[in-house]
Amino acid sequence: MKNILITGCSSGYGLATARHFLAQGWNVIATMRTPRPDVLPRSERLRVLPLDITRAESIAAAVAEAGPIDVLVNNAGIGLMGAFEATPMATTREIFETNTFGTLAMTQAVIPQMRARRAGVIVNVTSTAAVVPMPLVAVYTASKTAVEGFTSSLAFELETFGVRVKLVEPGYGPSTAFASNTGSRMDGLFPEPYAAFAQGIFSSFTGQSEFTLDTDVAEGVWRAVHDTTPQLRFLAGADALSLVPAR
């Protein structure tokens, strides 16, 4: 029975992915900054571990406690919308610290055991915002685009060791990345003259019928984990499937 470690499992994509793999009989290591076992079904195949991917000591402790990891899913992230002009550089660095450097650090922490076994899968969850440009998410897009470039290069680097590296790209759906994880970071990021422009962007989503669901991402991760072809990118969500081919 294989072991999967998923970051950012307290809600959204990570929670749905943990539930999906648990239902399929996998051993699931669900990590989150503040452990909340109550959000997942009770199971002997489930472990909930504390993990802050921006702290090296937290990563080391979680990886050591997890034991052998067959699949790593780098899902934890922070969303951000706002005018770049009004975004403090401190906020930009905070987004990159989690979305980009956190992903790199987790990946680096598990590579040695996968390389030694000559087996394993690393799945990085990014966004179609890194593929199809969208206004008012410049910082978020930059953080995810960096992960896209990192992943595509790493896939070549690790294939000689039998380790597969994949990308899952959710659409523009109303994910928790832009809700519960954003907090007060967007305060003041829509000043004049951006307010009217932003309202127009928000209005364009009204009535849209195609959105990415958390379960779409879970299924996308499932496909990526089991894919043994050279395919790197896996779209997740109806809007992703329509947006990317039309770019």
Tokens 């989690």 belong to 98
Total Cβ atoms within 10 A of residue 142: 17
Instruction: Reply yes or no on whether 172 is catalytic.
Output: no
Taking the C-alpha atoms of residue 151 and residue 124, their distance in angstroms, rounded to an integer, is: 7
Omega before 193 cis (within 30°)?
yes
Taking the C-alpha atoms of residue 154 and residue 141, their distance in angstroms, rounded to an integer, is: 20
For residue 119, give both structure tokens.
């087996």
Report which residue type is found at 153: S
**DSSP class of 61:** H
Report which residue type is found at 36: R
Q: 64, 98, 242, 102: which is closest to 177 by C-alpha?
A: 98
If DSSP codes are grouped into helix, strand and coil, which group holds residue 227?
A: coil
* Catalytic residue annotation: 140
